[in-house]
Each structure stands twice: as C-alpha cells, then as structure tokens.
Chains A and B, each alone.
Chain A
Amino acid sequence: MRDASPAKTYALHIGVIALLFALNFVLPDYHQGLFARIMALAVFAMGYNLLFGYVGLLSLGHAMFFSAGLYGAGLTVYHLGWGVPEAFLAGVICGALLALVVGLLALRTSGVAFMIVTMMFAQVFYLLILYFAAWTGGDQGLVIQQASRVFSIGGASFDLTDPIVRYMSALSLFAIVLLVTLAVVRSRFGRVLVAIRENEERTKMLGYDTVANKLAAVVASGAICAASGAAYALLFGYVGSNFASIQYSILPLLWVLLGGAATTLGPLIGTLFMYYVTDITSGFTSAYLLIVGVALILLVLFAPKGIMGSIRQRWLGWLP
C-alpha cells in the first residue's frame, strides 16, 4: 500500500459519504429503504473487516457481537421501556463487553482453532437466546413497536420509522464508523495491527504487546458490530435469533471478501453487491443463491483480493 496524502484519502471517504447523502434524494423509495439496510449492515462488515482484514484473525462467530447489540438495544426497549439513544448505547456496551470476554479466552488460540472457538461461543450465544425464549422471543423474535422507535434530541423529534430519518440515521452511523475505521487503520495502532497480521513474532520482537493489541482489536470490532446490530433493531423494529445463527457469521466474511479485505470501503461495496445480486436475481429464479455462488467463484478466480482490493492492486495503490 502506497501512502497517500491524508487530504486525498479523507476527501475520497467524505466524497463517498456525500454521495450516499445525495442518493437519499434521488433513489426510488424501495432502493432508499434497501440502502438504509445496506449501510447498517455495512457497519457490521466494517467491524468484521477490522479484525479479519487488518489483524488477520478469521472469526466465525461475529454473529454473536451483532446480536449482542441487537438484543442489547431491543430488549432494553421492549422490556425496560428505554429510549432509543440509551438502548443504542446499551447495545454497543453489550457487544464490547462480550467481545472483551470472548477475546480474552479466544485469543489464547490462533488460526483454525480461533475460528472454531469463536464459532462455538457464537453457538452458545445463539442457544442461550433460544433458551431464554420467555425474554428474547426465542426463534420467533420480538417486534419493537413503532411508538418505541421515536426519540427527541434538543426538542427535535425523530421517528426511525420515517424513511428519510431512517436513511439519515443509518448514514450517520455508517459515516462515523467509516471515518473512525479510517483513522484507526492510519494510526499507530492500525499499523501495529497490520504488522501483527504480516508477522506476529517479528512484531512481538520489536517490543509490541501483540496480545493486548489483538484484544483491543477484538473489542473494537465487537463494539462496531454491536453498533450495527443495535441500529438494525431500532431502525427496522425486529429482534430475532436468526441474526445470531451461523449464517450471520458467514455473511460479513463474504461481504468483506467480496468488497476487499483490509480496505476501508470494501465492506460497503461487498454488502451492496451481495444485496443487489440477491435482490435482482431472486426476481428471476429461486436458484438465486446459485448465482450468488457463481459470482463469488468468479471473484475468487479473477479478483481474489475482492473488488476494492483489486482496484488498489491494479490502479490505486494508495487506497487505505
């Protein structure tokens, strides 16, 4: 990766945010709603990418962090009647705490063992959701009523069921996480993470505490994924156990691989691509997952670094 001037890099990212802002005014209704969902889930992918792309830790359990946020926010609204901002914070804190505990235990392993351990933790989390069905709604899930998704800040009222408010809320979260991620990967901490990915032993030899850095990355990744889950619950009004299933641990991996691991914009591109391939092809055939699979195989064959990764490799070496 060649270094670019910070101005150029930040201009690109702010340009992407501005483009998404402008799309709110030109997209047809359905696509406006779909983009809101994609931006919320792209945050999930960005959280995953921080750990997978920059530290090289492949987790198969990130659904638990997403659903920790989902349930942390959803259950506090549903059972305790909390407001939207407090519930969102509760979701993020749940995800960060869970990531801290899981990280402390799972980081004793690496490679395939790390994948298996994270997957097992996620499975435990999933089964706990089913076990405490009286509180969580089990496999059927819970609906967060429209009235509970309205909040006010400084006298202004925001209704998250309103398409524009929802779009702008998803965009705000996306923009914050994108810029924070960009700042992190350009920071000293980010460089250490990449160094760990490239050669952990050498990084250790240079005097860095690799375990502490990896743990910090797990917690940051978990908190970002939880922010995505909390936003999803509050923006779309549904909390369900399927978001904690293995499928939702695999999906962010696919989004990141497709968009480009270790690229800041890759998670958005991957999520967008997968969503639209599914949405368009499902209108023509019930075998749409086959088409998604073929698209993934073609990408692996011809663009193994993902869309943004290939662009960086071939044309724009300065992309973060």
Chain B
Amino acid sequence: MADKNGFFDLSKTTLSRRTALKGIAAGAGLALAPGFVRYSQAQSSAPIRIGFQSHRTGIGAAYGRWYEKTSAAAVKAINDAGGIAGRKVELVIEDDGTDPARGAEVVNKFAKQHKTDIVFGTLFSHVVIGSAPAAGENKIPYFVVSEGHHVASTKLNRYVFQPGITDVKSQIQSMAPWIAANAGKKVTQIFPDFAFGYDHRDYLPPALKAQGADVIAQIAIPPTESSFTKYFPQIPAETEVIYHVMVGPAVLTFVKELGEFYGSQRPQLFGFMDSLEATDINSPGLEFLDGSHFWEGSPRYAQPDDSAAQKAYRAAVGIDDNGAAVGDPKDVSTASHMFGCWETLYVVKKAMEDAGYKGPEDRAKLVEATEALKEFAEGPEHPQGPKTFNGKIHQCFGIQNISKVEGGKLKVVHKTKIEDGLYEPEGDYTTQAL
C-alpha cells in the first residue's frame, strides 16, 4: 500500500492552530447546515426511526432473516394504517454478527450516528446481555425479542423491554402441568451444556414437582459433541418422558441416534421447537419424532381453528400453511419466535402513542408509558394470543402451544393459560432512575 501522502504515517500528522481552527469551523458549519435545521423543524412529521439490531450473519442468521421479514411486514402494516401517531415508521438495519461486542457497537451506532428513536429486534441472549449496557448508557429504549429470562431477571436495566414474546422460565413452567398429566410423571432431561440448557435444567424440576411429577435424571451434553449414543445408557429405565432441548446442527444426529437406541419401544418425547426452528420437520432422520410433542410459541403449521388475525399475520409475513416461505417450501420459518417482532412493534406503537412521543427527548416518557401497559388483547396486533405485561420486570406473559407431530406436520393439541406461566417478580426496574 503506497502511502505517499502520509495518510497512515502518524509521524507526519501535526495539528497546527490553522488546521484546528479549520476543523472547528467545519464542525460548526456542519451543525448549522440547512439539513439539520430542516430536520429539527420537521421532527413532528419526520419518520419514526427504529434501529433493528439484526443477526444477519453468525450463528443467528436463520433467525435474523425471518425476524427481518416479519418486522418489514409489521412496519408495512403499521404504515398502511397511518403509522405511529400519524408518522411513518422506518427500519434502520445493522448487522450485529450475532456477537455481543459488535451488538454493543451497533446499539451505540443507532443511538449516536443513525439517531434512531429506539433499538429493537435482538434474539440471542448473549447479544442482548452484551448490548444492554450500551442501551442503558445511551438511555435509548431497547425492545428485544429474545425469550431469554435475562430481562425479567431484572439484571439488565430500565431501558430494556421484552413485551412481545414470553421468557423461557414462563414457557417451561407452563409446560409442566401438561407433561405431568398427559406424558408421564418420571422425566429425564437431555439438554445442551450451556445457558439455554441451564434454563431448562433449573426451571423444570420445581415446576414438575408442583404438579406431582419428578425429574429423575439430568443429562448435560457438551456443545462440542457430535455423537450422542454414549449418553443414552444414562437414561434410567423407569423414564416415562424424555424432555429434550438440543439445539444446533447436531439435532438431526441426536434424534437419529435416539431412534436407533430405542427402536419402536420408546418413552414419550417432549421437546422445544427451538431445536428445529428453520428446519423441515420431514428432514431425513427426524422420522423418530412422529408422535412426539413440542412446545411452540406460535404454531408453524396453519391450524383448522386459526383466528382471522393469525391468518392475516401469516399472509402478511409470507408463510404458507406449512410454515415455509410462500413459493419456497424449503425455506422454513422460525414461526415459534418471529411473531414476537410483529407484536413488539405494535407494543412500541401503542406506547409511543400513549406517551405522546415526539422524538428522542421523550424517550423517558416512552419507558414510563411502556411500563404502564397491562395487557394486550388477541387480534391483528397480537395474533399469537392475548398477553399481560408486568411493567416492573418489563416482561410479557402469554399462552403457549403444545403440538404433536402427526403425519409430518405439527398439530396443536393444547394451549396453556396465561396464568400457567406467571411467577413471582424477581425485582423492579421502575425503582431505577431514568
């Protein structure tokens, strides 16, 4: 790299008084430029800019793509209906690489460079936790769609919200009554040996205990494992239900080897759809799952009793009856989670309108208005189902679906109640200063 101008040669970098004055003059000129004036005068009609922290690359890319599709559909629906308080909504997208360090930079970029009104859309827990300090320091509301318990744990800060998807603690707790009553009372858990697995390891046993059932064995599998057969002899013979939450590319091998281990005589199987998001349930090797049950946030397959709102949501996002992209059956969606983007954007709309939000100077009002929300009725804005919202822990609570694999499709066989997933708050964000 020839560098005859000395651009990279810092020894030639001198800051003379004249240069410094030129720089200051240029900066002042920029701040007073006509574009800045026009923007501030027209702020009341300028679009509301939502910074979308997207997992475009990295481990979360499959989710990120569908989160973008769903958010774009929600923004279009909101704009077609008049926007937020009469102002159009605009998504500003930045890739966080599914990396917490980059995630924090992206939040800073939204707050300081793009000057978005809020930040939205993060899924992976480590990115949420890594980005939360930046949101708090910039005092920019940060609406995540992560399902992690981190928001409700009140370990983050007052600017972080999760109003569009339930958290994993609530989901697990909601599953326990059905498992105990329908699948069996002696449960063996198989989970990945990292945080997602630990949530299930820690929250399921007390929830089952309350229903008169027991976890009789917990088998943690290292995330680097690619073959699972050696773990299966650890499953106690009296096991009535295997509760599995393996995630990642090894899931297909896990299911195939479990099938080979048990043959046709197997205990009941219960899993979380996180294992198979964006994966075709009819993929070779998954035949063993036929007849087993899964938690689903929002059903992947269209159901006979789908509400008009659910049908409209699916059409708007562009997923067919099998939960794949319209026109591309192999492009399977992340239906169990992505609805949270749609619903979160409608919560943002409601909170902004309640707060009389005009611009970044009203962010504190927006936080308080969001905290004041209590419930969201099922309908076009909340097609997954009704929800309540606890403003103290910034977390919503809703219904969950239990689906059975039948004939290569997932059929919803049970819907839980909101009350099944409620738990005692672990703190109170509203006591923190704004």
Contacts and interface: CB of A to CB of B under 8 A. Distances in A.
Interface of A: 12, 15-16, 18-19, 22, 26, 28-30, 33-34, 37, 130, 133, 137-146, 161, 236-238, 240-243, 265, 269, 279, 282-283, 286, 288-289, 298-299, 302-303, 307-308, 310-311, 315-316, 319
B3 A311 contact: yes
B308 interface: no
Interface in B323-367: none
B9 A315 contact: yes
Main secondary structure of the interface of A (DSSP, over half): helix
B157 A140 contact: no
B133 A133 contact: no
B293 interface: no
Contact of B148 (A28, A37, A140, A282): A140
Contact of A310 (B1, B13, B136): B1
Nearest 4 A-B pairs (CB), nearest first? A237-B133, A30-B112, A30-B113, A29-B112
B198 interface: yes
A299 B1 contact: yes
Contacts of B33: none
Given A143-B129, A144-B133, A146-B133, A242 B101 contact: yes
Contacts of B100: 141, 238, 240, 242
Interface size range on B against A: 35 or more
Given A15-B11, A22-B15, A307-B1, A140 B57 contact: no
Contacts of B132: 143, 238
Nearest to B131: A238
Contacts of B14: 15
Contact of A12 (B10, B129, B150): B10
A19 to B, nearest CB: 6
B10 A19 contact: yes
A141 B126 contact: yes
Interface string B101-119: 1001100110111000000
Contacts of A265: 10
B156 A279 contact: no
12 contacts: A130-B223, A133-B194, A145-B157, A146-B136, A161-B137, A238-B100, A238-B101, A243-B101, A282-B95, A282-B97, A286-B56, A286-B57
A244 to B, nearest CB: 12
A26 B28 CA distance: 11
Contacts of A138: 194-195, 198
B5 to A, nearest CB: 12
Contacts of B94: 282-283
B133 A26 contact: no
A238 B135 CA distance: 12
Given A26-B23, A237-B137, A307-B3, 12 more contacts: A26-B27, A130-B193, A133-B195, A141-B126, A236-B104, A238-B104, A241-B126, A242-B101, A269-B10, A288-B95, A307-B8, A319-B11
Of B56, B95, B133, most buried by chain A (CB within 10 Å of CB) is B133
Contact of B129 (A140, A161, A283, A302): A140
B125 interface: yes
Given A145-B157, A302-B1, A238 B133 contact: yes
B130 interface: yes
Contacts of B13: 15-16, 19
Contacts of A307: 1, 3, 8
A319 B9 CA distance: 11
Nearest to A287: B57
Contact of A238 (B1, B27, B130): B130
Given A130-B193, A140-B125, A142-B129, A15 B10 contact: yes
B99 interface: yes
Contacts, number: 126
A240 B113 CA distance: 26
Contacts of B193: 130
B11 to A, nearest CB: 5
B155 interface: yes
Contacts of A308: 8
Nearest to B148: A140
B8 A311 contact: yes
B105 A311 contact: no
Contact of B126 (A236, A240, A283, A299): A240
A308 B3 CA distance: 11
A316 B1 contact: no
Given A19-B15, A286-B56, A286-B95, A140 B133 contact: no
Contact of B130 (A130, A145, A240, A316): A240
Interface in B1-42: 1, 3, 8-11, 13-15, 20, 23-24, 27
Nearest to B128: A140
Nearest to B98: A242
Nearest to B23: A26
Of A29, A30, A34, A302, most buried by chain B (CB within 10 Å of CB) is A30
Given A141-B130, A144-B133, A316 B194 contact: no
Contacts of B148: 140
Contacts of A242: 99-101, 126
Given A141-B126, A242-B100, A33 B23 contact: no
Interface in B42-75: 56-57
A137 B100 CA distance: 14
Contacts of B126: 139-141, 240-242
Given A299-B1, A307-B8, A30 B129 contact: no
A31 B171 CA distance: 41
Given A238-B133, A286-B95, A30 B10 contact: no
A316 B11 contact: yes
A242 to B, nearest CB: 6
Given A26-B27, A141-B130, A283-B94, A133 B105 contact: no
Interface string B148-161: 10100001110000
Nearest to B114: A30
Interface in B275-320: none
Contacts of B223: 130
Contacts of B194: 130, 133, 138-139
Contacts of B3: 307, 310-311
B104 A143 contact: no
Contacts of A238: 100-101, 104, 129-130, 132-133
